[in-house]
Amino acid sequence: MLKVAVLMGGMSSERAVSLVSGGACAIALRTVGFDVTEIDVTHALWEQLKFADPDVIFNALHGDWGEDGRVQGVLDMYGKPYTHSGVMASALAMDKHRAKHVLKSVGITVPEGGLYKRVDVAKSHPLETPYVVKPNGQGSSKSVYIVKGAVTEHGGTILNDVEMGEDVVVESYVPGRELTVAVIDGKAVCVTEIIAAESENGWYDYDAKYGEAAAVHTCPADLPVYVSTLCMDWASKAHSALGCRGVSRADFRFNDENCTEDNVVNKIVMLEVNTQPGMTPTSLVPEQAAHVGIDFAQLCRWMVEDASWPR
């Protein structure tokens, strides 16, 4: 029986989400016949892996250290097959500022903006309002601020939000609908629209992603074919350009006002690519996989079968 170690928890601000993802994946993998060990990752990961002695490592970590290339470096040195993206793709996708340059170079539209010092952003507007301030190296939409009015609206909070890091991404706010596309084995699955009706912020923030019944997912999204086609094409292209492996997820904003097939490339913006998409009961990738006939256990099994070393 193949021994699989599921890495979960960890030390990032997304620890709680990772524990849910990892727990769900561990249960699913046991149902399809794997011998599963759950590892709540610490800085002693090497010793934890040696004790577990797995044949394959399933990475269900989220956030910094877990999906930014550092754990992937440990796994490369350990020398056993592992899931998801390797060091380069993980580090690049997690660095939102640099990832945008790569995406733009292959013809994908990204938001205008740049990298700024958090302390400076807290004192004065770096861009015309409205704009978005977010960490350069985190996921799950934590510590994301939409600034629409005076600097004082979020200035003090941003200044004191040290978990954002010293450098933050500031981007022009892009109005429109929230869309996302899962990519499995290099192929885009479908497009989901997310309506975060219950979010106090009115968009797909951390609470909307992981709270109970906090968002409505329409899968597949009710969109013109040319919109869905472009989103799926860009998601696959981004997966390839960043060097992703296994599963990734690309997030978009779509401004459908006066959108036509001729101007659609100016109406869709890719916000980011996630190399460690959530695998919780409310997560988007399992929903899209189910839409094309791949249930959760089958998806987890495929991830194990797709694992390799090095990535």
**Strand spans (E) along the chain:** 3-8, 35-40, 56-59, 113-117, 131-135, 145-147, 167-172, 177-184, 187-195, 216-218, 247-254, 268-274
**Is position 140 annotated as part of the catalytic site?**
yes
CB 147 within 8 A of CB 131: yes
> Which two three-digit tokens encode residue 289?
């996989």
Q: Could you say which of 141, 278, 283, 301 is catalytic?
A: 278
CA distance 243 to 184: 13
Catalytic entry in 9, 14, 131, 283: 14
Catalytic one of 140, 143, 248, 283: 140
Which residues have a Cβ under 8 Å from the Cβ of 138 and sit 6 or more positions away? 12, 13, 14, 63, 64, 163, 164
Q: Judge whether 272 counts as a catalytic residue.
A: yes
Sequence letter at residue 2? L
Query: Does residue 18 carry a catalytic annotation?
Result: no
Q: Which of 228, 236, 274, 283 is catalytic?
A: 274
- Catalytic (active site) residue 249: yes
Is residue 14 annotated as part of the catalytic site, yes or no?
A: yes
Cβ-proximal residues to 31 (8 Å cutoff; 6+ apart), any chain: 297
Report d(CA 70, CA 4) in Å as an integer.
20
Catalytic residue of the set 178, 205, 251, 287: 251
Annotated catalytic residue 210: yes
Of the CA atoms within 13 Å of residue 207, those in its CB half-sphere come to 10
Ramachandran bin of 227, using left for φ above 0, alpha for ψ from -120 to 50, beta for the remaining angles: alpha
Say if residues 177 and 267 touch (Cβ distance below 8 Å): no
Catalytic annotation, pick one of 116, 210, 236, 301? 210
Q: Which of 161, 272, 287, 311 is catalytic?
A: 272
Catalytic site includes residue 167:
no
**35 counts as catalytic:** no
CA distance 99 to 111: 12
Catalytic residue among 118, 177, 245, 249: 249
Q: Give the active site residues.
A: 14, 140, 210, 249, 251, 272, 274, 278
